Amino acid sequence: MGKVYPVYFRKVAYIVPFLLLGFVASAQSLKTMDINIDSKGFIGQDIRTILKVKNTSDKTVYINISVIKSQLGSSQVAYLCIDNDCEDRNIAQRGITKSDLVHKIMPGELNESLIVVLESGLVQGLSSITYRISNLKQADDFIDIELHYEIEERPSEGFLYSSKTVDLSDVYPNPVTETAIFDYKIKNDAKEAKIIIHNVLGSVAGEYKLNPFEQQLKVSVEDFNPGVYFYSLYIDNEGVATKKLVVRK
């Protein structure tokens, strides 16, 4: 004949599985991975941060993202992009609303398509913004991500142009004897960016399209006569910045 346990022991034995079941049901399914929470940038620069979020569960998770706290400068704007498709609203001013973005993450998926952008504004200083990524079907399943920004004055040398479309460095070396080098970053490949080099008379010495899949342009000046030239950045055939280039042999 089997053992007879006291009534109170049998009640505990029935309760424990239900407690464990409740714990499993409320387990966290969202986890952040390698997010750069501290960023430095220059006045007028767009700072982009990828929100890497992993679904650690075996079920599809539907999430939304909202701003729960922000300390931004008056000229700063924060917005959200999904695979470089950016929201046209300032999410820093939205708070938690029913209109927040809904996004799907598959079981076990590490999602890297959520990108938050800070337009650094016109004044140097410190700022921060806290985003909440929430599981829409489980109220206690969420992650808070606090991003910190340090904005500095842009150095007077070394940078020719920066915008939402492209960042372009000054040419180097300058003067140049063999190869002139431009460092750049295309941030909106829907726009066409190119560099045109003119001589002092305004004649075109060379025209070079900036490939959005590369970050450096090398221009041979072997066929250029020694002298002073000017290089200009054009975006959709509109000149936006010009600087001097000296060629020596």
- Flag the least confident range among 109-113, 162-166, 196-200: 162-166
User: Which two three-digit tokens encode residue 121?
Assistant: 């504004």
In the chain, the amino acid numbered 151 is: I
Calculate what percentage of the chain has a pLDDT beyond 90: 36
CA distance 116 to 195: 29
- pLDDT-derived band at 179 (thresholds 50, 70, 90) equals very high
Residue with tokens 């309760």: 15
Same fold, 28-152 and 159-247: yes
The radius of gyration of the chain from alpha carbons, rounded to an integer in Å, stands at 27
Of 5 and 246, the structure prediction assigns the larger pLDDT to 246
CATH architecture of 159-247: Sandwich (2.60)
pLDDT tens across 200-241, in order? 888 999 999 999 988 899 999 999 999 999 999 999 988 888
Average pLDDT over residues 67-86: 82
The neighbouring-strand residues paired with 22 are none
**Single pTM value for the model:** 0.52
Run of H or E residues at 179: strand 179-186
- pLDDT-derived band at 154 (thresholds 50, 70, 90) equals low
pLDDT tens across 88-120, in order? 555 554 443 344 456 789 999 998 888 888 888
CA distance 197 to 93: 43
pLDDT tens across 20-68, in order? 444 344 458 888 888 888 888 877 778 888 889 999 999 999 988 888 8
- pLDDT-derived band at 82 (thresholds 50, 70, 90) equals confident
CA 193 to chain centre: 20
Query: What residue spans define the domains of the chain?
Result: 28-152, 159-247
User: Is the separation of the CB atoms in 145 and 37 below 8 Å?
Assistant: yes
Q: Which CATH number fits domain 28-152: 1.10.1370.40, 2.60.40.10, 2.102.10.10, 3.40.50.970?
A: 2.60.40.10
| Angstrom distances, CA of residue 37 to CA of 30, 70, 108 | 17, 14, 23
pLDDT at 84: 62
Of 58 and 82, the structure prediction assigns the larger pLDDT to 58
pLDDT at 201: 87
The dihedral formed by the CA atoms of 156, 161, 167 and 173, expressed in degrees to the nearest 10: -60
